Amino acid sequence: MLTLVEGSGHVVAQNARWDAAATPPNLFSRVGAFPLADGSADSAMAFALPGGNYTAVVTDSADQTGTALVEIYEADETSNRIVNVSGRTFVAGAANPGIAGFTVRGCKAGRFLIRGVGPTLAQLGVTGALADPVLTLTTSQSSVIATNDDWGSAPNVAELSDVAGRIGSFPLVVSSKDAALLVTLPPGAYTAVLAGANGSSGVVLLEVYEVPGGN
């Protein structure tokens, strides 16, 4: 069950089983999404959204548990663009990390702030938060680009803090064990993997921000 909610809490749309007949022809292939079987219990929605903050919530219509993949694609070339995507998930040991894939389009490199937030979630009232997240960024071929464990120990900690403030993300205490990376990436597909140090488990927030100004 996929539910889209706007910043005020109003439910914009909801879908329990996607409808091939109601989906624009060739939409999946046009945006680069893999096909869904006609009549499957997967969920999908396509519509225009005004600028603002939105949350996609995935639940099971029969109140069961399991692994789900949440995808967001820009389907039209408009002035409105996705500038930040974040996902809250549960990391269960080394074998079940939090994973976020994203694609950089166009012909120029872009700059991105990627964060794995665990300890700060606990300070915000989230129970069972991951105490020590480790963030790794890879290419689509699984080559490691960068990794971070404890953002406050990064050599560019001052720049990380400055960029986070400029783009409007909530602050992290330098002494926290949250993880963060600031990277310049050429066009291509990338994967951010968030695991717990020493195989630990807990709730995490995995964030990807586009930093204005490119490289």
| pLDDT tens, residue by residue, 175-193 | 999 999 999 999 999 999 9
Mean pLDDT of 67-90: 87
Which of the listed ranges 55-64, 78-87, 203-212 does the model predict with the highest average pLDDT?
203-212
Q: Which of 36-40, 78-82, 149-153, 190-194 has the lowest mean pLDDT?
A: 78-82
What one-character-per-residue DSSP string does 131-196 give? Answer: SSEEEEEEETT--EEEEEESGGGSTTHHHHHHHHHHHTPPP--TTS--EEEEEEE-SEEEEEEEEE
DSSP state, residue 104: E
Structure tokens at 47: 């519509």
* Length reported for the chain: 215
**What pLDDT, on the 0 to 100 scale, is given for residue 94?**
83
Domain boundaries, the chain: 1-73, 82-215
Whole-angstrom Cα distance, residue 202 to residue 19?
A: 35
Q: Supply the pTM of this predicted model.
A: 0.88
pLDDT digits (tens, 9 = 90+) for 143-187: 999 999 999 999 999 999 999 999 999 999 999 999 999 999 999
Q: Do the Cβ atoms of 99 and 142 come closer than 8 Å?
A: no
Q: At residue 93, does pLDDT exceed 90? A: no
The larger pLDDT score, comparing residue 172 to residue 61, is at: 172
Give me the pLDDT at residue 79, please: 67
Identify the DSSP state of 31: H
First to last CA, the chain: 38
> Cα–Cα distance between 121 and 27 in angstroms, integer?
36
Q: Given strand 11-15, what is the order of strands in its sheet?
A: 11-15, 2-6, 54-58
Query: Where does 7-83 show beta strands of DSSP type E?
Result: 11-15, 54-58
Say if residues 151 and 160 touch (Cβ distance below 8 Å): yes
Domain 82-215 adopts which CATH fold? Jelly Rolls (2.60.120)
Tell me the pairing of strands 110-117 and 201-211.
antiparallel
Q: Tokens 């939105």 sit at which residue?
A: 54
